[in-house]
Structure 1
Amino acid sequence: MTVPICTRSGDIIEPLMKPQWWVRCKGLAEPAMEAVRNGKLEITPMASEKEWFRWLENIQDWCISRQLWWGHRIPAYFVRIEGQDNDASSSDYWVVGHDEAEARQRAEKKFPGAKFTLEQDPDVLDTWFSSGLWPFAVLGWPDKTSDMEKYYPTQLLETGWDILFFWVARMVMLGIYLTGEVFCHAMVRDAQGRKMSKSLGNVIDPIDVIQGISLADLHAQLEAGNLDPREVVKAKKGQSADFPDGIPECGTDALRFTLCAYTSAGRDVNLNVLRVDGYRKFCNKLWNATRFALMKLGDDFVPRAETGLGGAESLAERWILHKLNIAARDVNAALAEMNFMAATTAVYSFWLYDLCDVYIEYIKPITTPEADPAARRSAQETLFTCLEQGLKLLHPFMPFVTEELWQRLPRRASETSKTICLSAFPEPRAEYESPAAERDFDLVMSIVKAARSLVADYHITSKATVYIAPTTAAAHALAAAEAAGICTLIKGCSEVLALEPSASVPAGCAVLSVNDEVAVHLMVRGRVDIDQEIKKIEKKMSKADKAREALLAKTKIDDYTERVPEDVREQNANKLSNYDAEIEALQQAIATFLTLKGSN
């Protein structure tokens, strides 16, 4: 490619003490700094903006001559006049031009009537000078092409903080101005935090992560390179330590998601291939969950024409749609701020912890052919909405697997896009917002977690019977309505019964208090040593009583009401109420075990 270094910048590029060519940078630095000051150029994060000014305020003249094998050859020509012993170190006998023909015209004008030959400078341009010309040189500059008018100045540049001055500042200076934003991502290092180096053997080729590679083939790559034999030995040791089993095949989506998940306002990323492999497993879970969900939808499922509520959504449906809304809001906000770590965390949490681990499992009893048709249809519609919108949220980070799965979904009548790339990106919807559903379902999940904890503590692997003991009518109604779903989420559970507030808990149950409204009991009669269980409960009660007394002492200090904020006093009151409920439930459990022991 011809690099016309003089057409628009001849006043700043000049030969000094040939063979070196220089750029006078003092006059260019101020406009580049002013572009940031007046908001035409935005640099994220703020720490990188400080680097920008630190470099430009102390800028020196820039030598752009390089004696390298590869590069753009400097379009400067030495005019060797016949019969004269020209001095090549003098700038008087040098001309520049797009090509030799233009340089000859300038030489003829400079030395009229003289016979001469032209000798092009063997030096090449500094790499950063060539790179600095890139935004406009590729668009036809210096001609005013349609591409120049349409695409220049650029709007967004994503780059590493370490080359902010070497590349970005030079682009801004050479282009005089550049509007838009510059996002500086972190420096990618190895898992130990070392800068990647061929001699250390810790350079990770993205292709090797995508396709996988054995340790032997990694070693072979070193031997095929141009490293010194002693460095090859050192690098092999490094590879053997970092990748003893080679690099597993992770795929493009997993690598892309990993790099986005790492990227924050920090400067360093310690890239661990095991984490990439973890996101590969997430891709597999995504695939399996979507395929399983499609089975629950059925081959004849046709979704509603428009996205929205049907009016008969259950608590679980309202909860998952609320979680979808939160994910959409968080992802959009994070992308607007270029906070890719927050964006990936939001969509990952929705898919893994909300949709896969909870909702898909929770609705299994509802989506069977024997279930109520209306409830089944409503659950399917909500499941489809979560799949459709969830894949779109994930698409920027995992484009290939999401496109493949989206193509397998049935289409709404309102969806005209043939590819997920062109489909509308999800945004928060007011109708999905439901803090009340989130609050109620959080209680349901607290019941599930308490029951799971009891099942694990008592090593009960099957046919577990769980009793939910509420103290209020509202808690009883919630537990009774969600009993089937709770039973589904408790592994090895055969029955969940919601007791009336006035009902007694059957003898032989272990207990775990959820809060002052709900306690969870697990039938362990005939499966455990009663004396040992009483001792366990007594330990729990002693621990709860000590925590209660310690908190109670804090509330009895002088001027407690004036010195402690109202919200903290309210939290302390709730904690004390929960401690009282827990201790009471544990006392009842001991009493039932003693009764059971006496009957035995």
Structure 2
Amino acid sequence: MQYWRQNRGTQRRNISWIKILMCWTHGFSAGLFPLTVLGWPDNTADLSTFYPTSVLETGLDILFFWVARMVMMGMLLHGDVPFRKIYLHPIIRDAHGRKMSKSLGNVIDPIDVINGITLEGLQKKLEQGNLDQGELEKAKEGQKKDFPDGIPECGTDALRFALISYTSQSDKINLDIKRVHGYRQWCNKLWNAIRFAMIKLGDQYTPPATLAVHTMPPICKWILSVLSKAVGKTVSSLEAYKFSDATSSIYFWWQYQLCDVFIEAIKPYFNGSEEFESARGASRDTLWACLDTGLRLLHPFMPYITEELWQRLPQPKEACRKDSIMISEYPSAVQEWANDKVENEMEIVLDAVSKLRSLRPPTDIQLRSPSFVLCRNLEIAATVWCYQAQIATLASVSSLKILTEDDPTPPDCATNIVNKDLAVYLQLRGALDTEAEHEKLRKKREEVQKQYDTLSQKMSASGYREKAPQSKQDDDMKKLATLLEELEIISEAESKLDAKN
């Protein structure tokens, strides 16, 4: 130990030279790697078949030191570049955007994210390093600030999904452990979806070889349509190396369409009533198809949990079951599932649900109250009637009644404007806060008025009529008329509210 202290400077210089030589050796071997793994210098079948390779994934910081040498050596020794495309992954930094450094104490070991670690464990690792006392204290303070409770156990899948979703951040990833842990909690959502499915499918359920989509309830047609769209978006994103877009598409479908809407909407079908026998069967088949396709779609991003959950799903009798989801066919968009009409209808339905839910008082969030929907044309009325049960279920109301413009406004109701043809009411039974309702309408008026003024100013600008295409002018005129109608509806709602006082 005494010798090491006396000769520490010399040893550090020697270690630096060793590291430099190792880097150059690695660079040389990396340059030969695409050739040697395929049998070069012999003219093997693998070399003629697979060289040049398709894509190299690497970091921007070694683009010149390693990648350029691979290209030059490939061209020199075999007459062609070793790969056609290069995908540059971002460099991972801490949540504050700082480069990871031992002296700052912000270096994150992936194993610690996967398995979790206490603050004491993190600091013990620092003490086992070669930091001097000043750097050690500084690093410990940094860890206390960033990880006061340590790092929670996140698992491999959550870390993998988070890193892929971060790739939209250009050449840097500001890694926030809270986001990784959020995906760990999302994994619980996947487990709950499969648990719900296994209960509702039952032990004797056998999936059909094909789905009779045309005979299904609208909610089933909708989830299959948006699933097909999510599959298409994911596949095209992967082909374009836009991995973050792929994760966004998958996450949105699983979280906001399958779990938050479809699973909640079909729960009443399983109450045992004979009235829903047909819808119950269609919901089972649709649920199985969604989970089977959704898990295969998610598998490259979360391989472990998808394998575990997929193994639990029943398989069709006619199918030759694969031993693993890994060797199952990756999903592709199903054109027969696409249904723009149903998707447009569900967009209106979900807007109405959102507006109804926003009317519930924070103090009575669990209270189910009567609700009403005012439809100003027959097309909207037909859509609401078709999805009446789904709106009531998703909005958590006790009843839903459809009104026309000739019907009187129900008493003691909070109101919200969905669009120019649709308004929703929630009966609060004496709990109506008139002042709060006036404030909501005032904010809505300001929002719509701002949109109206902006669009009106744009259409009045010099050169608009000469430069804007006629189709664009027609669309803007329709939008302006729609906004004006919404302002009139808000004024009408304010007048009715004043009349009650």
TM-score (norm: length of structure 1): 0.73
Tell me what 2:66 maps to: 167
Tell me what 1:186 maps to: 90
The structural deviation recorded for 1:221 is 1.2
- For residues 596 and 565 of structure 1, the distance between their equivalents in structure 2, rounded to whole angstroms, comes to 47
Tell me what 2:18 maps to: 68
The structure-2 alpha-carbon separation of the partners of 1:268 and 1:552, relative to structure 1 and needing over 3 Å to count, comes to: closer
- For residues 464 and 292 of structure 1, the distance between their equivalents in structure 2, rounded to whole angstroms, comes to 27
Tell me what 1:239 maps to: 143
Match of 1:351 among 245, 250, 254: 254
User: Which region of structure 1 is more displaced relative to structure 2, 424-433 or 411-420?
Assistant: 411-420
- For residues 263 and 549 of structure 1, the distance between their equivalents in structure 2, rounded to whole angstroms, comes to 38
The structure-2 alpha-carbon separation of the partners of 1:297 and 1:325, relative to structure 1 and needing over 3 Å to count, comes to: same
The structure-2 alpha-carbon separation of the partners of 1:458 and 1:447, relative to structure 1 and needing over 3 Å to count, comes to: farther
- For residues 542 and 172 of structure 1, the distance between their equivalents in structure 2, rounded to whole angstroms, comes to 62
Tell me if structure 2 keeps the 8 A contact 1:508–1:593: no
Tell me if structure 1 keeps the 8 A contact 2:116–2:151: yes
- For residues 194 and 261 of structure 2, the distance between their equivalents in structure 1, rounded to whole angstroms, comes to 14
The structural deviation recorded for 1:461 is 4.3
The structure-2 alpha-carbon separation of the partners of 1:400 and 1:548, relative to structure 1 and needing over 3 Å to count, comes to: closer
Name the amino acid aligned to 1:361.
Answer: E
User: Does residue 281 of the first structure (1) align with residue 185 of the second (2)?
Assistant: yes
Encode CA deviations 1:432-472: one digit per residue, 9 max, x unaligned. Answer: 11111111110111111111122248966413111011122
Tell me what 2:334 maps to: 429
Tell me what 1:441 maps to: 346
Tell me if structure 1 keeps the 8 A contact 2:370–2:399: yes
TM-score (norm: length of structure 2): 0.86
Tell me if structure 2 keeps the 8 A contact 1:544–1:582: no
- For residues 417 and 175 of structure 2, the distance between their equivalents in structure 1, rounded to whole angstroms, comes to 43
The structure-2 alpha-carbon separation of the partners of 1:580 and 1:267, relative to structure 1 and needing over 3 Å to count, comes to: closer
Tell me if structure 2 keeps the 8 A contact 1:201–1:239: yes
Instruction: Please list, as runs of the form range in 1=range in 2, the aligned pairs for 1:401-420 lying within 5 A after superposition.
Output: 401-412=305-316, 413-420=318-325
- For residues 67 and 560 of structure 1, the distance between their equivalents in structure 2, rounded to whole angstroms, comes to 68
Tell me what 2:221 maps to: 318
User: Does residue 364 of the first structure (1) align with residue 263 of the second (2)?
Assistant: no
The structure-2 alpha-carbon separation of the partners of 1:323 and 1:70, relative to structure 1 and needing over 3 Å to count, comes to: same
- For residues 436 and 93 of structure 2, the distance between their equivalents in structure 1, rounded to whole angstroms, comes to 52
Tell me if structure 1 keeps the 8 A contact 2:31–2:69: yes
The structural deviation recorded for 1:71 is 7.2
The structure-2 alpha-carbon separation of the partners of 1:125 and 1:533, relative to structure 1 and needing over 3 Å to count, comes to: closer
The structural deviation recorded for 1:253 is 0.3
Tell me what 1:387 maps to: 291
The structure-2 alpha-carbon separation of the partners of 1:455 and 1:179, relative to structure 1 and needing over 3 Å to count, comes to: same
Match of 1:156 among 55, 65, 79: 55
The structural deviation recorded for 1:198 is 2.3
- For residues 566 and 150 of structure 1, the distance between their equivalents in structure 2, rounded to whole angstroms, comes to 55
Tell me what 1:117 maps to: none
The structure-2 alpha-carbon separation of the partners of 1:199 and 1:145, relative to structure 1 and needing over 3 Å to count, comes to: farther
The structure-2 alpha-carbon separation of the partners of 1:209 and 1:581, relative to structure 1 and needing over 3 Å to count, comes to: same
- For residues 471 and 329 of structure 1, the distance between their equivalents in structure 2, rounded to whole angstroms, comes to 36
Encode CA deviations 1:143-164: one digit per residue, 9 max, x unaligned. Answer: 5566656655433321111111
Encode CA deviations 1:401-426: one digit per residue, 9 max, x unaligned. Answer: 00111111111233532211111111
Question: How many positions carry a matched residue from both structures?
Answer: 478
- For residues 427 and 102 of structure 2, the distance between their equivalents in structure 1, rounded to whole angstroms, comes to 62
Encode CA deviations 1:105-164: one digit per residue, 9 max, x unaligned. Answer: xxxxxxxxxxxxxxxxxxx96332233333344555545566656655433321111111
Where in structure 2 are there 5+ consecutive unaligned residues?
1-15
Tell me what 1:452 maps to: 357
Match of 1:328 among 220, 225, 231: 231
Tell me if structure 1 keeps the 8 A contact 2:155–2:184: yes
Tell me if structure 2 keeps the 8 A contact 1:509–1:589: no
User: Does residue 471 of the first structure (1) align with residue 376 of the second (2)?
Assistant: yes
Tell me if structure 2 keeps the 8 A contact 1:365–1:485: no
Residue identity over aligned pairs, in percent, reads: 41
The structural deviation recorded for 1:385 is 1.2
Name the amino acid aligned to 2:151.
Answer: I
- For residues 431 and 439 of structure 1, the distance between their equivalents in structure 2, rounded to whole angstroms, comes to 17
Where in structure 1 are there 5+ consecutive unaligned residues?
1-65, 73-123
Tell me what 2:3 maps to: none
Q: Secondary structure at 2:53's aligned position in 1?
A: coil
Tell me if structure 1 keeps the 8 A contact 2:60–2:89: yes
- For residues 272 and 505 of structure 1, the distance between their equivalents in structure 2, rounded to whole angstroms, comes to 50
Tell me if structure 1 keeps the 8 A contact 2:414–2:437: no
Name the amino acid aligned to 2:380.
Answer: A
Encode CA deviations 1:282-313: one digit per residue, 9 max, x unaligned. Answer: 1111111221232222222211113x444212
- For residues 228 and 144 of structure 1, the distance between their equivalents in structure 2, rounded to whole angstroms, comes to 54
The structure-2 alpha-carbon separation of the partners of 1:372 and 1:221, relative to structure 1 and needing over 3 Å to count, comes to: same
Instruction: Please list, as runs of the form range in 1=range in 2, the aligned pairs for 1:481-496 lying within 5 A after superposition.
Output: 481-491=386-396, 493-496=397-400
User: Does residue 377 of the first structure (1) align with residue 281 of the second (2)?
Assistant: yes
- For residues 388 and 201 of structure 1, the distance between their equivalents in structure 2, rounded to whole angstroms, comes to 43
The structural deviation recorded for 1:538 is 6.6
Q: Secondary structure at 1:288's aligned position in 2?
A: helix
